[in-house]
């Protein structure tokens, strides 16, 4: 297999549907395998080495790691599902031209151009930032990077030199809006092409079959049709995020996330 041809990165801001997209690429799209956040290093060299070794393992019938929920199914929601890394064989008919994907979240959007330059395709997904930021304030997320973002509770991730931001604000919601803006502007700043595409979570939910078909055509790795596509329900509901102040989030986004409007979101 050409190591610079049949590799895919799935990317997006945290809590934007990246795990769901990864799961459905595995379960519904022919000739595609996608792994959910098992590789800690995101630099191009490490990623290419992982792609090559994992592709060989799959073709040899050996087990590879992915993330599974409590029921043993591929996770579609890493935090609510209590997902764990487990090694299993890929039970899917694959040709030698199959695509291998890896889903990243934290920090990956700033790497998109580097992956493209290395010949790795990138598929990004974004979600209405009102609900993305609301999900970052769920109790399950309290110890994570996107919640611990204020000076008095700063996650070690933000203290690392390579991840430091020049903050324009001090509040949690406003800084979350700044982080979303950084990721979203990276995604929309690259023109869609044969190597790069982005989709909106809301559109993907509304027409899952159509989007998966278009992704399959874009990858150009077979002549079959997508299958077993589920009917999905949007998670963009205020009643799911009872700990969030949507008025505060809206004000933060209006001031610090102008890219939201370029994606068609009202803030």
Token digits for 29? Answer: 């799209």
Residue pair 9/102 in contact (Cβ under 8 Å)? The answer is yes
Where does the pLDDT of residue 2 fall: very low under 50, low under 70, confident under 90, or very high at 90 and above?
very low
Q: Is residue 1 predicted with pLDDT exceeding 50?
A: no
Q: Is residue 4 predicted with pLDDT exceeding 70?
A: no
Residue pair 64/58 in contact (Cβ under 8 Å)? The answer is yes
Residues above pLDDT 90, as percent of the chain: 79
Q: Is residue 58 predicted with pLDDT exceeding 90?
A: yes
For residue 154, the tally of other CB atoms under 10 A from its CB is 12
7-262 classified as CATH 3.40.50: yes
User: Which of the two residues, 39 and 218, has the higher pLDDT score?
Assistant: 218
Residue pair 117/11 in contact (Cβ under 8 Å)? The answer is no
Residue 83 has a pLDDT of 82
Q: Is the pTM of this model over 0.75?
A: yes
Where does the pLDDT of residue 81 fall: very low under 50, low under 70, confident under 90, or very high at 90 and above?
low
Token match 């290395």: residue?
118
User: Where are the chain's structural domains?
Assistant: 7-262
pLDDT digit string (tens) for 116-149? 999 999 999 999 999 999 999 988 888 889 999 9
Residue 215 has a pLDDT of 98
DSSP output for 76-145:
S-TTTTT-EEEEE---S---TT-EEEEE--TTTGGGHHHHHHTT-EEEEEE--HHHHHHHTTSGGGTTST
Residue range 149-171: mean pLDDT, rounded: 88
Mean pLDDT of the chain: 92
């Amino acid at each position: 297999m050409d190591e610079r041809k049949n590799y895919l990165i799935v990317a997006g801001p945290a809590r934007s549907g990246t795990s769901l997209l990864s799961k459905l690429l595995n379960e519904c799209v022919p000739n595609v395998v996608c792994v959910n956040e098992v590789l800690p290093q995101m630099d191009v060299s490490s990623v290419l080495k992982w792609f090559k070794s994992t592709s060989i393992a799959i073709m040899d019938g050996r087990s590879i790691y992915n993330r599974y929920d409590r029921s043993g199914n591929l996770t579609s929601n890493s935090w609510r599902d209590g997902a764990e890394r487990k090694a299993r064989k890929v039970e899917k008919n694959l040709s030698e031209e199959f695509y291998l994907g890896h889903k990243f979240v934290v920090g990956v959007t700033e790497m998109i151009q580097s992956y493209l330059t290395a010949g790795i395709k990138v598929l990004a997904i974004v979600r209405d930032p009102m609900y993305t930021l609301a999900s970052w304030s769920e109790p399950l997320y309290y110890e994570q990077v996107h919640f611990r973002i204020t000076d008095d509770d700063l996650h070690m991730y933000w203290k690392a030199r390579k991840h430091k931001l020049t903050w324009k604000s001090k509040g949690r919601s406003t800084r979350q809006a700044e982080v979303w803006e950084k990721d979203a502007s990276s995604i929309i700043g690259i023109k869609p092409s044969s190597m790069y595409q982005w989709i909106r979570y809301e559109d993907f939910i509304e027409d899952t079959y159509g989007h998966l078909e278009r992704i399959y055509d874009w990858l150009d790795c077979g002549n079959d049709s997508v299958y077993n596509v589920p009917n999905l329900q949007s998670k963009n509901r205020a009643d799911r995020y009872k700990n969030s102040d949507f008025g505060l989030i809206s004000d933060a986004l209006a001031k610090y996330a102008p890219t939201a409007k370029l994606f068609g979101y009202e803030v």
